[in-house]
Chain A
Amino acid sequence: MRLIKQLGEWFDARLQIGATLRETAEHPVPRETASWFYVFGSAVVVVFILQIFSGIMLALIYVPSAGEAWNSLQTLNHEVTLGWFARAVHGWGSEFMVAIVLLHMVQVFWFGAYKYPRELTWVVGVFLLVMTLGMAFTGQVLRFDQDAYWGLGIGASISSRVPIIGPPIVNLMLGGPIIAGATLSRFFALHVFVLPGLLIAFVGLHLLMVIKLGINEWPMPGRIVRKATYVKEYHELTNKDGIPFVPSAVWKDLFFAAFILLAIGACAAYFGPFGPGGEPNPTIIQTAPKPDFFFLWIYAVLSLLPPSMETPALLVGPVVGIVLLLLLPFVSSEGEKSWQRRPVAVLLILLLAVAFGTFTRRAEHAPWSPVMDAWSGKPNPPQFLRNRTALERQGALVFQAKQCHNCHALGNEGGERGPALDNVAVSMTRDQLIRQVIQGGGNMPAYGKNLSPAETTALVTFLQTLRPPGQRPARDAARDAANGPAGALSSPVR
């Protein structure tokens, strides 16, 4: 112990930073900030350090070459001792990092911490968010599998829609005409050199400002932020009723960071690494690429937007979002910090959380995607075939063979791109069914050229049996009036 003390003194006599460090560690913070709500920022730093170390470990084996990357990931997963665990820690670390960055941001917004004099801290934080998401996306690319390959294609397709300079941007992003070796190399450079370097610099700046300006006090209703008086009031608060950051507040940070590291380790050990999925061979087209968790909501938005809105939303949306985030502390730099007096802010958080959750859930389910193998892999449920005539069963065959099942569910099986057809005969008459099948419309392709008259007749006859037992099919009232209510073309009630 004495030796350590002597060594410490020897170094400090030459470095001259001991006093500064001690002063920084023991700086007074408002008493209420020693709270579990104030632990997210420090946890992100700890996870970021974990990402740097686990990333360096992966770089010992990983080959950033389009021809070899996928094989080197397989080697990591299956041959190198505990290579799978290193990959899993890095993968789960990235999920946790994005999640805690978002939680941190929500807490800062919720507590009004972006207000004077911490506007620039928030602005730097917005850049840190963008870089963290950039790390998540580029990291997904380095996991060079089918999802990564086609994800790059989606990125290129979006970039190409920028007016005038779109196609050059695509070439610049891909490093050439197609997704290939140069593409992976430049995403490797971004993920391993550019973004981490920027992140380290900006995290340092962010932390420096937190220490210089002091941690945000616990918001109290009625404690109004005014530029003229805030700094004086804050110093009174910390000097009169403050506690030293170390050790009074820091133990919660330490505890939470350790808990998060434990959670990452547990997820890594239990769930294992992410992929890689199928090999990035562009000639294997039997694939349905999906983005990683934190980008799923974008996938949903892209599917649900009307086509005409898509390009503007894609190109303008992110810019507007980031500009709004950057402007926030300047638009509302004074006033109430307490959530009890900021109902719009609280509602906004709730709205964004619900929207994020809903879109993510929809994207996991992806009802807009045709189920590509439903026609061959999901048989027509027996209740729709029992006691049917030969013609009706012929129609059921047409339904399968012409891939109708890929977009239309029967008995909860099959695609959801179009409406489920379990009760279609109740809502559409025979003539309406024929027209819909032949002409399409309402987001359905026209099948006129690909169905013979006999196939159409069989299919529509089958569709007319799709109704609850004992219920008649829909009738055309005008035709009934003209021809009598016999419903000559409709099948009888069973």
Chain B
Amino acid sequence: MKLGILFNGIVAAILAIPLVRYILSPVSHGRKGAYQSWFALGDLAQFPAGQTRLATYKNPYVNLWDGMTGDVACWVRHIEGANFQVFAVNCAHLGCPVRWFPQSGLFMCPCHGGVYYQDGSRASGPPERGLFEHHYKVENGKLWIKAGEMPTPGMVSGIPGGKPPCA
């Protein structure tokens, strides 16, 4: 009887280890940094200096059946020259999509009323920090960003993969 229980326990453990690893694979995969990568967001001509525009991209990490959920939006602020800021659309409060109002120079969130200035810093409302920023670089006349993971308030410094470039 005891031997039988022990035997079953050992077999269960042998089976459980790979299955638990399977369930945790979204976590272990992300830890290797595999979700983040550099890609070209678009030609510089798409982002006139002094303006903030919505840009969309196909997430670098997608499955075939993700459909339109693989498309992601971000706000690109071209300050001047090679100076940019690329914000995730997700509000730093609870992730709703913020909208840009060029007339008042504010990002407003429709959910709980978070408001940010044009440089992404917090203006008012419930967010505890400014908008999430993506790393960017300018190469060959294109704007490149490093992205791939939806930013959430709990991430270290709020941005996947390190500190924002302009911090």
Residues on A close to B: CB < 8 A? 65-68, 149-150, 153-154, 156-162, 166-168, 170-172, 174-183, 279-283, 285-289, 302-303, 305, 307-308, 310, 368-370, 372, 375, 401-404, 406-407, 417, 440, 443-447, 449-450
B23, B124, B153: the one contacting A443 at CB < 8 Å is B124
- Is B30 among interface residues, defined by CB-CB distance under 8 A? yes
Interface centre among B56, B69, B72, B160 (most CB of A within 10 A): B69
A279 touches B68 (CB 8 A): yes
Report the nearest B residue to A444, measured CB to CB.
B124
Task: For B111, list chain A residues within 8 Å (CB).
Answer: 150, 154, 288-289, 303, 369
Nearest CB in chain B to that of A71: its residue: B67
Q: How far apart sit A293 and B122, CA to CA, in the bound complex (Å)?
A: 30
Query: Using Cβ atoms and an 8 Å threshold, which residues of chain A touch B101?
Result: 375, 403
Contact indicator B72/A282 (Cβ below 8 Å): yes
Q: In the bound complex, do residue A181 and residue B126 qualify as a contact, i.e. CB atoms below 8 Å apart?
A: no
Given A156-B150, A283-B72: A445 and B124 interface contact (C-beta under 8 Å): yes
Interface string of B17-42 (1 = CB under 8 A from A): 00000011011011100010000000
Beta-carbon nearest neighbor of B158 in chain A: A160
Instruction: With CB as the reference atom, state the residue of chain B lying closest to A404.
Output: B104
Q: Is the Cβ of A153 less than 8 Å from the Cβ of B59?
A: no
Q: Known: A176-B26, A288-B111. Contact between A157 and B66, CB under 8 A?
A: no
* Known interface pairs A150-B95, A158-B94, A281-B71; A178-B150 also in contact (CB < 8 Å): yes
Within 8 A of A (CB), among B78-92: 89-90
CB atoms of B108 and A370 under 8 A apart: yes
Does B163 sit at the interface, judged by CB under 8 A? Answer: no
Q: With contacts A66-B69, A170-B154, A174-B150 known, is A153 near B95, CB below 8 A?
A: yes
Query: Which of B1-9, B112-120, B138-146 binds A?
Result: B112-120
* Cβ contacts under 8 Å, A307 to chain B: 126-128
Q: Is the interface of A mostly helix, strand, loop or mixed?
A: loop
Q: List 27 A-B contacts (CB under 8 A).
A: A65-B67, A66-B65, A150-B96, A153-B95, A156-B95, A157-B152, A157-B154, A161-B154, A166-B154, A168-B30, A168-B31, A171-B27, A174-B26, A178-B59, A179-B150, A181-B65, A281-B71, A282-B68, A283-B68, A285-B99, A303-B111, A310-B126, A369-B113, A370-B110, A370-B115, A401-B103, A417-B113
Cβ of B23: which chain A residues have Cβ within 8 Å of it? Answer: 172
Residues of chain B with a CB closer than 8 A to A310's CB: 126, 128
Residues of A within 8 A of B164 (CB): none
Residues of B within 8 A of A67 (CB): 65-69
Is the pair A370, B113 in contact by a Cβ cutoff of 8 Å?
Answer: yes
Considering the complex of A and B, which 6 residue pairs feature the smallest CB-CB distances, nearest first?
A: A67-B67, A160-B154, A166-B154, A160-B152, A445-B123, A153-B95
Which residues on the A side are within 8 Å of B117 (C-beta)? 445, 449
A279: chain B residues at CB < 8 Å are 68
Interface string of B44-84 (1 = CB under 8 A from A): 00000000001010010111011111111100000000000
Instruction: Tell me whether B165 is interfacial, beta carbon within 8 Å.
Output: no
User: On chain B, which size bracket covers the interface?
Assistant: 35 or more
Query: Given the interface contacts A176-B35, A180-B70, does A369 sit within 8 Å of B112 by beta carbon?
Result: yes
Inter-subunit contact B94/A403 (CB<8 Å)? no
Given contacts A178-B72, A406-B108, contact A153 B27 (CB under 8 A): no
CA distance A98 to B160 in the complex (A): 38
Write the nearest CB–CB distance from A354 to chain B, whole angstroms.
23
| Most chain B beta carbons < 10 A, residue from A167, A178, A287 | A178
Contacts of A445 in B (CB 8 A): 104, 106, 115, 117, 123-124
A302 touches B30 (CB 8 A): no
Q: Is the CB–CB distance between B66 and A283 below 8 Å? A: no
Q: How far is the CB of B149 from chain A (nearest CB, A)?
A: 4
CB distance from B159 to the nearest CB of A (A): 12
Q: Which B residues lie within 8 Å of A282 (CB)?
A: 68-69, 71-73, 89, 97
Assess the A303–B154 pair: CB atoms within 8 A: no
The answer to whether B112 touches A368 (Cβ under 8 A) is yes
Supposing A283-B56, A285-B97, A403-B101 touch, asked if A182 and B26 sit within 8 A by C-beta, the answer is yes
User: Bound complex: CA of A222 vs CA of B115, how far in Å?
Assistant: 58
Q: Is B155 on the interface with A (CB-CB < 8 A)? A: yes
User: Is the pair B69, A181 in contact by a Cβ cutoff of 8 Å?
Assistant: yes
Chain A residues closer than 8 Å to B94, beta-carbon distance: 153-154, 157-158, 302
B90 x A153 contact (CB < 8 A): yes
> Once bound together, how far apart are the Cα atoms of A156 and B132, in whole Å?
15
Chain B residues in 8 Å Cβ range of A166: 152, 154
